[in-house]
Amino acid sequence: MRQVAKIFFLLLACASLEVRAAHTTVELLLAADTVQPGATVLVGIQLEMESGWHTYWRNPGESGQATEIKWKLPAGVTAGETQWPVPEKLPPAEVTTYGYEDKTVLIVPLTIASNVLAGPLEISAKVSWLECKEACIPGNTTAQATLIVGNETKVSANATLIADWQKKLPAPLPNLSLQAWWENPATGDTRPLIISWSLLTNAQTAGIHAAPLAGEADFYPDANDKFEIQPGLTNLSKSSLTVLWRKQVKKFEGGWPDEISGLMVLGAGDERRGVDVKIPIGKNPASESIAPLPASAETTSAAMQPLWQMLIYAFIGGLILNIMPCVLPVIALKILSFVSEAKSSPQRVRALGGIYVIGVLFSFLVLAGLVIGVKAAGQQAGWGMQFGSPIFLVCLVTLIMLVALNLFGVFEVILGGGALNSAGELASKPGVAGAFFNGVLATVLATPCTAPFLSIALGFAFAQSSAVIVAIFLTVGLGLASPYLLLSWNPRWLKFLPKPGAWMEKFKIAMGFPMLATVVWLFSVASSSYGKNIFWLGIFLVIVALAAWVFGEFVQRGRSRKMLAASITLLLLLGGYVFALEKQLDWRKPLSSFTSTRSLKESAEGIDWQPWSPEAVMAARAAGKIVFVDFTADWCLTCQVNKRTSIEISAVREKLKALNAVALLGDHTLYPPSITMELTRFKRAGVPLVVVYSKNPAVPPIILPEVLTPSIVLNALEQADKN
């Protein structure tokens, strides 16, 4: 992209050679009229642009051309490096460029040799630049000034102006700490780089307050012929101590760089300043080799495993999802559908089983596309990431409630005659639609759950190419759907199921209650984002239920005034949406701060959880303490089961107190990028993830399996205490 842009601007410049660059004036300014031999004098190259026009910085960015100075100096006079004031990002926003508007002064130190004879010296510089507005025009001129060598130094009338522009030059900031490391292996010629920076508390004495950590900060890279640091920047983490950025590095030739350089721009307004930096690319300071637990395939590093093994893990993980609590309501519905089709022809049973599989695979293909799109945008992708969206939760809780009402018989999902006629006389059409929808619903409800083997396969996939991501996701879907595919292709096995009868209607109604339990669970998850306003989501669900009852009772089963009933149904839905969701709940603007401000300690006798951060882990380990980290989310049912059965129990609480361990909670409910990045570092695609760090900082952490028991947690704490 950068090379193409440069060629474009070169052609544009060639086409404009006949046009005089009349929108920029250049003047050579001296900080002194007279200097002594052996002295250094500052020279300013002032470029003053007409309103709306701009010139470029030393690295113009994705397009443009840096201003160039070629000196013609008398013998005994040498020019130092050009010093560039801190630039601005220039419009348009679609193309990132760096430069100056209105006016800038490039400062160059000139050194006068001690043997230079007294008298006048002619200082000359040929300045070339590119000025742009709607069009770009190349310009060049020669600027001159006379410097007198004498017995004393006399400042010029321009000394104050040059001194003012000196204050706008990048300056060292001793309080700034910088580190960089590669986040993942390269994908083609592109590789993600993490930049970690922090300001120590006494940064206020350097004239820059806490604004950079709470406000604006950026990195403008230097140009390089062998690689390019692309302009897009992802802010992964912002704490009171450290900021983590991700930049994408694109390689043109040779190996990957071991150092990057550029300009750190911190603060805003009057406090805006730049720092020229060179950052070695080293090892992640928080990273440690991850030691697997003995005889546990769960903690085996997926990065070194072959693709075929990861595909097996993906299939097994998808198969295990069928017994996870997330998918159980849909499984019951699927069993019911098999019972209802038990007397059908084998061809019909196989067709419906195939449609169910297609629904599952289609949904997993959509999820794979979502992951690929998120990665392409430079963001962190993870399993169940859609549950981090409160808007998605509102839509899903409404859908699941409608499914429950349908199971209770409040209303029926049927296809109109026109739809059936258009499909011919396929009486199986409603069965086909139901089978496909069951496959989609099973996938949606499976995503907040992880299973043994599954997180390893997904963690492997998220670091691979798009083709591997698709292959892994489709294999997980095949594992999820395989029991039903196998059963549908062996219809004689259906004889072991109960015979169809009146009990099926009762069973169908009974299955509405697990769906209602799912609604309650999703409602509680959404409360993490909306706080007390979640009351209005409950009001909306009540209105939707009333509308569904009116529709079923008076439109579907009624005999008169159906149009009136349909109108009331629409008015209820529209009114409920506008009043409850839009006005009262303001559902598209969740209270994102609600989760971060709530207490992490569930009860007076509960575990004293502290918020997780890389700095908190390093500080505790530096103090020689055991660290117990639970990465969890409100929408993760496996996490909640682990918490109730194996973490928030008296034995574990007493053990943590006895060991004086630090308990850190990584809340992934709203999908914070810093936790997603940490999960990726441990080769996990999502939560749950429980990690126990030994009190010895040199000992690698212990990673626990997804499904916990009290003995697993207690044994890990014992092991961490011994090491």
Q: What is the pLDDT of residue 425?
A: 32
Q: How many CB atoms lie within 10 A of CB 73?
A: 14
What lies within 8 Å, CB to CB, of 411 at 6+ separation is 405, 548, 549, 551, 552, 556
Q: In the structure encoding, which two tokens stand for residue 1, read together?
A: 């992209």
DSSP 364-383: HHHHHHHHHHHHHTT----T
Q: Which residues contact 372 (CB under 8 A, 6 or more apart)?
A: 466, 469, 470
- When mean pLDDT is compared across 174-183, 289-298, 301-310, 346-355, the lowest value belongs to 289-298
Average pLDDT of the chain to the nearest whole number: 79
pLDDT at 500 (0 to 100): 58
| Domains of the chain, CATH where assigned | 2-166 (2.60.40.10), 176-282 (2.60.40), 306-585 (no CATH), 599-722 (3.40.30.10)
Q: Is the pLDDT of residue 1 over 50?
A: no
Res 320 pLDDT > 50: yes
Beta-carbon contacts of 166 under 8 Å, excluding residues fewer than 6 positions away, are: 42, 107
Question: Residue 475: which H helix or E strand, with range?
Answer: helix 466-488
| Range 653-684 burial, b when 16+ CB lie within 10 A, else e | bebbeebebbbbbbbbbbbbbbbbbbbbbbbb
- Enter the tokens of residue 119: 């008298």
Spatial separation of the C-alpha atoms in residues 397 and 537, rounded to whole Å: 10
Range list of β-strands (E), 537-601: none
Render pLDDT for 684-721 as a digit per residue (tens, 0 to 9).
Answer: 877 889 999 998 777 888 999 888 999 999 999 999 98
* Residue 261, strand partner residues: 278
- The four Cα atoms 304, 307, 312, 313 give a dihedral, to 10 degrees, of 40
End-to-end CA distance of the chain: 52
- Measured in degrees and rounded to the nearest 5, phi and psi for residue 110 equal -110, 130
User: With bands split at pLDDT 50, 70 and 90, how would you rate the model's confidence at 316?
Assistant: confident
The overall longest dimension of the chain from CA atoms, in Å, is: 115
How are beta strands 136-149 and 32-35 bridged, if at all?
A: parallel
Element (H, E) at 407: helix 390-408
Mean pLDDT lowest for which of 175-184, 369-378, 617-626? 369-378
Bridge-based pairing of strands 609-611 and 154-155 is: unpaired
Most confident of 177-186, 314-323, 481-490: 177-186
H/E segment holding residue 90:
strand 88-90
Q: For residue range 575-591, what is the model confidence (pLDDT) as tens digits? A: 999 999 999 888 887 76
Would you call 285 helix, strand, or coil by DSSP?
coil
- C-alpha span between 108 and 67 (Å, rounded): 13
Length of the chain: 723
| The amino acid at 378 | G
According to DSSP, residue 180 is labeled: E
Contact 219, 176 (CB under 8 A): no
Q: Cβ distance 349 to 511 under 8 Å?
A: no
Helix (H) or strand (E) holding 702: strand 702-703
Q: Residue 420's pLDDT is what?
A: 30
Q: What is the mean pLDDT of residues 268-279?
A: 82
Confidence of residue 291 (pLDDT cuts 50, 70, 90): very low
Nearest alpha carbon to residue 168 among 103, 85, 87, 44? 85
| Pairing, β 176-182 against β 24-30 | unpaired
Residue 612 has pLDDT above 80, yes or no: yes
Residue 130 has pLDDT above 80, yes or no: yes
Q: What is each CA distance from 62 to 6, 98, 223, 228, 366, in whole angstroms?
A: 8, 9, 10, 10, 33
CB atoms within 10 A of CB 702: 22
DSSP-derived 3-state class of residue 299: helix
Q: Is the pTM of this model over 0.85?
A: no
Mean pLDDT (whole number) for 83-104: 89
Q: How far is CA 263 from CA 104, 219, 220, 409, 639, in A?
A: 17, 6, 5, 65, 43
Residue type, 105: V
- Asked if residue 161 has pLDDT above 70, the reply is yes
pLDDT above 80 for 595 = no
Q: Say if residue 329's pLDDT is above 50.
A: yes
| pLDDT band per the 50, 70, 90 thresholds, residue 40 | very high
Tokens of 672: 């914070």
Using DSSP's 3-state secondary structure scheme, residue 95 falls into: coil
Number of alpha carbons in the 13 Å side-chain half-sphere of residue 455: 29
Secondary structure class of 196 (helix, strand, coil)? strand
Residue ranges of E strands in 403-526: none
Query: Is the separation of the CB atoms in 446 and 473 below 8 Å?
Result: no
On whether the CB atoms of residues 206 and 174 are closer than 8 A, the answer is: yes
